[in-house]
Amino acid sequence: MHINGDRLWHSLMELASIGATPKGGNARLALTALDGQGRDLVVGWMCEAGLSVTIDKIGNIFGRRAGRNDDLPPVMTGSHIDTQPTGGKFDGCYGVLAGLEVMRTLAEQGVVTEAPLELAIWTNEEGSRFVPVMMGSGVFAGVFPLQTALDARDSEGKRVADELAAIGYAGSAPVGRRLGAYFEAHIEQGPVLEAEDKVIGVVTGSLGVRWYDVTVTGMEAHAGPTPMPLRRDALYAATHLMQEVVKIAEAFAPHGRGTVGVVNVHPSSRNVIPGAVRFTVDLRHEDAEKLGQMDARFREACAMLAAGDTTGTAVEVEVREVQSFKPTPFATDLVQRVRGEAAARGYTHRDIVTGAGHDAVYVAGVAPTAMIFVPCKDGISHNEIEDARPEHLEAGANVLLGAMLAQAGPGTAAD
């Protein structure tokens, strides 16, 4: 059985027309009017495919396809349709519409699975307008309270609860319930599959993450009269620590990651020696123990810099850990289903670990979970030029179809 690749592509393009940007991407931030229009479009398609739709109290949307034994916990798939301010057409949207295509195909073929199937659209995965990120799946999985999410405000002070009501998606269904399994299809958002000419990424789990805010404080002084040996240059000191972040990641290859993404220099004047530098650090690894070792090495580097052991001049170093996610291994049997389905259909594939956060990471805390990756052009995502090949998107949806059918029980013709 195969999904309709042309229909999948046309659905992606029609959804992408809502909030389209000049460079070919999307700006459809969570709970804006445009997000409401996107939800309305996809919910209409869900109903046309015969799904019964419910909305929970955080605005997550679920389309259910009954099984022969409807008391069994559902096999679910899904993702999100909210985007970054300068996002692409495929991030999240592909997972939702690949799941929809599975439901459409089964309806056309008259197949009824033993367990029910469900398609989810999770609220505010991107976190561009409201934090926390991956809000809908996080509340569903009990990671943070419903009320905390409903009370979150955007930069204009608008509340999630009010914005859900404004677009018509303040649901009444309880949040969270038992699932039999969860599959999520997604573009890779990285360059590995394309570089190795692989069609399917069999995602075995997600990297753990530790985020820090770091402040290095020295002393600002005039750039001309102050001799080099007598300076307490915060930027010079901070650059040693920034380079150490990269060295730590390289020391824990191949799954170590180290990134300095934001840097602010004070007072940021051409002829003033910097007195303070504030920057962010992002450390990642798939192994919890190794991520802990990376953390220890980073903190040791901070202590050495503060003592003057690194540069010969002592500075103040403040480190604040602001967020962390443990490495999340996905369910071995579901991963094998994805791997086996890719092989059976003749698609080139490889095991891969996701370095990005996905709704699947939170859902994995309450249900067996696996992900299916397909390549994206040049590994670029969170960008208006994000792109993917139709045949790859079709292949990923076919793997999703096969994996869900195998998990939900043998499909049979409807009575």
Helix (H) or strand (E) holding 213: strand 208-217
pTM of the model: 0.87
Q: Tens digit of pLDDT for each residue in 215-243? A: 999 999 999 999 999 999 999 999 999 99
The CATH code that applies to domain 5-206+327-413 is: 3.40.630.10
**From CA 298, how far away is CA 292, in angstroms rounded?**
10
Q: Which runs of consecutive H residues, i.e. helices, occur in 49-197?
A: 93-109, 135-140, 146-150, 160-166, 192-195
C-alpha to C-alpha distance for 171 and 139, rounded to whole angstroms: 14
- Identity at 94, one-letter amino acid code: Y
CATH 3.30.70.360 placement within the chain? 208-325
Does residue 113 carry a pLDDT above 70? yes
What residues does CATH 3.40.630.10 cover in the chain? 5-206+327-413
Q: Are 135 and 35 in contact (CB under 8 A)?
A: no
End-to-end CA distance of the chain: 19
Average pLDDT of the residues in 292-304:
98
Task: Extract the runs of DSSP E, i.e. beta strands, from 39-83.
Answer: 52-55, 61-65, 75-79
Place of tokens 């994996």: 403
Name 206's bridge partners: 328, 354
8 A C-beta contact, residue 154 and residue 130: yes
Q: Does the domain made of 208-325 have the CATH classification 3.30.70.360? A: yes
Phi, psi (deg, nearest 5) at residue 219: -150, 120
Distance, CA of 131 to CA of 123 (rounded, Å): 11
Q: What is the pLDDT of residues 350-364, one digit of tens each?
A: 999 998 889 999 999
DSSP-H helix ranges across 110-145: 135-140
Average pLDDT, the chain: 96
C-alpha span between 266 and 235 (Å, rounded) = 9
Q: Which letter does DSSP use for residue 92 in this model? A: T
Q: What is the mean pLDDT of residues 389-401?
A: 98
